Amino acid sequence: MFNLQFAISPSSPHSVPVPLTPASFSIIIPTLDEAATIAAAIRSAIDAGAHEIIVTDGGSRDETIAVATRAGASKVVRSLPGRGTQQNAGAAVATRDWMLFLHADNRLHPDGLKQACDAIGGSAAGDHPILWGAMRQRIESPEWIFRAIEGGNAARVRVRGIAFGDQGIFVRSDVFRREGGFPDIPLMEDIELSRKLRRQSRPVLIPGPLTISPRRWRSRGPIRQTLQNWRLQIAHATGTSPAKLARRYQNHPH
């Protein structure tokens, strides 16, 4: 059964019901030397019902592009490196009514896009339609610390209206473009996008879960990595430039 979403046509101020299905989402995956992970990410999007999967590559020197093509990517876009820049490049060629940004080492739940459709459709007739959202995470490790990280990340979306890039941010395409997309900064582009979007509506957090690789925590240890993330967020909130934060970050993405 289709959900009906009330969407605003750019050429008309009137709300009209349109069918919302998993195929209504363009999945945009930024990559840089992700030959080992990209096929699983693409397969998860296909299994979730997506028909348009866009890989935006920032200059991989491995077989990422070839693997992505074989795995079923609809489009492969070459871009300057930088997650925000790459995601904007993918958004520029996206044709669906909604976009979802998926990291290459993440995997969508088979029902993830349907859950998003249900949440969006359920809000359409109300005074506060959903314009964007994110997904609960499941980090692939049994350690208790990762359950705490998952809970903290979910609470941040609910309480502060801030989603990280590895939470499967999804947004209505016209809203994303109207807000100017991701800022062209080397770090914290996901936080800045969230700040813009939360002025338009509160995000919805759907259950997913989005499966997350623990590799970025493994490289430094989950507690050290989480503490570093907090320090970077505090520095960003108090005015430290993204360029300076990127130098501190030392190529360990959050």
* Domain residue spans of the chain: 3-219
Across 49-53, 109-113, 136-140, 215-219, least confident range: 215-219
**pLDDT average, residue stretch 220-247:** 72
The average confidence (pLDDT) of the chain is 88
Do residues 35 and 6 touch, judged by C-beta distance below 8 A?
A: no
Do residues 146 and 163 touch, judged by C-beta distance below 8 A?
A: no
Residue 2 confidence (pLDDT) above 50: no
From the options 3.40.50.20, 3.40.50.1110, 3.80.10.10, 3.90.550.10, give the CATH code of 3-219: 3.90.550.10
* pTM, rounded to two decimals: 0.87
**pLDDT average, residue stretch 111-127:** 88
Residue 35 confidence (pLDDT) above 80: yes
Residue 190 confidence (pLDDT) above 90: yes
Which residues have C-beta within 8 Å of that of residue 186, sequence separation ≥ 6? 82, 242, 243, 245, 246
Phi and psi, residue 47, nearest 5°: -65, -30
**pLDDT average, residue stretch 184-210:** 95
pLDDT at residue 223, rounded to an integer: 76
Which sign, positive or negative, has the C-alpha torsion 121, 126, 132, 138?
Answer: negative
